[in-house]
Amino acid sequence: MPVSMTALCDELAAESADLRRVLAGLTEDDWRRDTPAVGWTIADQVSHLAYFDDVALRSATDPEAFTAEKDAMDAEGGVNPDSIAAPFHDLPGHELLAWFDDARGRLIAGFRDLEPGLRVPWFGPAMSAASSLTARIMETWAHGQDVFDTVGAVHEPSSRLRHVAHIGVGARPFSYAAHERPMPEVPVRVELVAPDGSTWAWGPEDAADRITGPALDFALLITQRRHRDDLRLTVVGDAAQEWAEIGQAFAGDAGTGRAPLGTRQTGGVR
């Protein structure tokens, strides 16, 4: 079935609306609350999304400018989310929300008419425009989860989790590269129970190595928003076990993950 950029844009808009409903009700003090990511407030989470919306749009519409920007970052040691967030740390909440609205609106408008297969550069491997948009859904969901957790709101599971899981499965090779490990040639079957009770699956049906369980739990694992011990996932086989330990759906350096719930230490953000 052909990929529909219109459908992906609509999915991103819906995920954005879920997050925005929480952000719109925040006080200025709320914007300064620490999230489960060490050193990151809600303000930092939102500036991260807005900043990379602008960058993602630039990578698709002006790849030369994006590449020059990336080269400059690489010359200074690579992408550092903490350094990127720092200049925006003290922006008032209403300015951050306005930036998020503007950046997200321009991103969706700019991607809606792109060819799904258009190759766009990124900080990891180059990808298709459709994959870039899917990555924005994943990032919105993951950073949104940190916001929901901080304010104690329920992040209702939806069919959009399929996008998070899909990009996480596709990023398996990158997860190994980020950790400077060779990826096993052993295939892994991923079978997830969707929010509506249906099954989503990737990988060979007869694969001995498997990860199974709720789609929500796999999304939390592959975006490193929960420690594996806190998730209802069944992991079978050495290759699946290793992937479950190092998997990450996001580009950049190897993520630090999260400590088990109930401990005081939490992990970094991407």
Q: At 3, is the pLDDT very low, low, confident or very high (cuts 50, 70, 90)?
A: confident
Same-fold call for 5-156 versus 162-246? no
Distances (CA, A) of 185 to 172, 178, 235: 11, 17, 17
Please tell me whether the overall predicted TM-score, pTM, comes out greater than 0.75 for this model: yes
pLDDT band, very low/low/confident/very high, at 267 (cuts 50, 70, 90): very low
Q: Quote the pLDDT of residue 47.
A: 98
What confidence tier does 253 reach under pLDDT thresholds 50, 70, 90?
Answer: confident
Q: What is the pLDDT of residues 19-61, one digit of tens each?
A: 999 999 999 999 999 999 999 999 999 999 999 999 999 999 9
Residue that has been written with the tokens 């819906």 in this structure: 14
**Domain spans of the chain, in order of start:** 5-156, 162-246
> With bands split at pLDDT 50, 70 and 90, how would you rate the model's confidence at 263?
low
Q: Among the residues of 41-80, which ranges form H helices?
A: 42-61, 63-75
Dihedral of the CA atoms 16, 21, 22, 25 (nearest 10)? 140
Rounded CA separation 207/159 (Å) = 25
Radius of gyration of the chain (CA): 18
Question: Coil, strand, or helix at residue 254?
Answer: coil
Nearest Cα residue to 268 out of 16, 20, 28, 48: 48
pLDDT of residue 270: 53
What is the distance between the alpha carbons of residues 203 and 169, in angstroms, rounded to a whole number?
9
Give the right CATH number for 5-156 from 3.40.50.12780, 1.10.15.40, 2.115.10.20, 1.20.120.450.
Answer: 1.20.120.450
Q: Which CATH number fits domain 162-246: 3.30.160, 1.10.10, 3.30.1050, 1.10.3470?
A: 3.30.1050
Place of tokens 């989860």: 145
Q: What angle do CA 36, 38, 44 make, to 5 degrees?
A: 80
pLDDT at 266: 45
Average pLDDT, the chain: 94
